[in-house]
Amino acid sequence: MATGSTGTQAEYVRAPFADTSLYHVPAAAEQDALLMLSDILPTGFECGVLHGEVQPGSTVAIVGAGPIGLATLLTAQFYSPAEIIMIDLDDNRLEMSSRFGATAAINNKDGKAAERVMKMTGGRGVDTAIEAVGVPASFITCEDTSHRVASSRTWSACGIANRDHDQAGRHRDDADAAEDSAIAQDRRDQTHNLSVQVREDFGSI
């Protein structure tokens, strides 16, 4: 986003210093590819990777393997961490995260992910824990994967608490479910294209 702006979601935006802070979209660029850069990828990169201070050779845990978690996983690899541990409740998401470069994947249905992370790291915990869900349980998991290490270790939150979740931390809102299935961080796994009208119809359910 342009200098001086913290970001926005709107049909039209007035961007400060646009002549020197924005980049023209290449004429040959595909809209589907640009969609991946509009919201989820920057959230995972800035809120997760940059704020989490991912460093070469470090150990990273990402709690949540949904779209933002996968974006965090992809962009964390720019900084060459030694280990990226993905934690989620869904085996399909964890399988996808392994294809996207995770070095380990943990299903937390039994609530013992933090215990497994501590065992994998010799009781040290991770250097950076990144929360990418937005429910209390995932914040607690982040804290528990890093609480035994030095105070210099960090954790960062990408997730924003939503109004409706089940006890497993999944969204009940049909619109969120549709968006979750439609948006993938690698275009090989982009499964659906929804029109604006279809998206609005989901929002009214």
Q: Which domain holds residue 49?
A: 40-161
Structural domain contains residue 151: yes
Domain membership of residue 34 (yes or no) is no
pTM of the predicted model over 0.75 = no
pLDDT, one tens digit per residue, over 81-111 is: 999 999 999 999 999 999 999 999 999 999 9
Q: What is the pLDDT of residue 152?
A: 45
Mean pLDDT of 142-166: 61
Residue 194 in this model has a pLDDT that exceeds 50: yes
Residue 132 in domain: yes
Q: How high is the mean pLDDT of the chain? A: 76
Report the C-alpha gap between 44 and 46 in whole angstroms.
6
Query: Based on the structure, what is the number of domains in the chain?
Result: 1
CATH number at residue 54: 3.40.50.720
Does the residue 127 lie in any domain? Answer: yes
Longest dimension (CA), the chain: 52
- Work out the average pLDDT over 72-85: 96
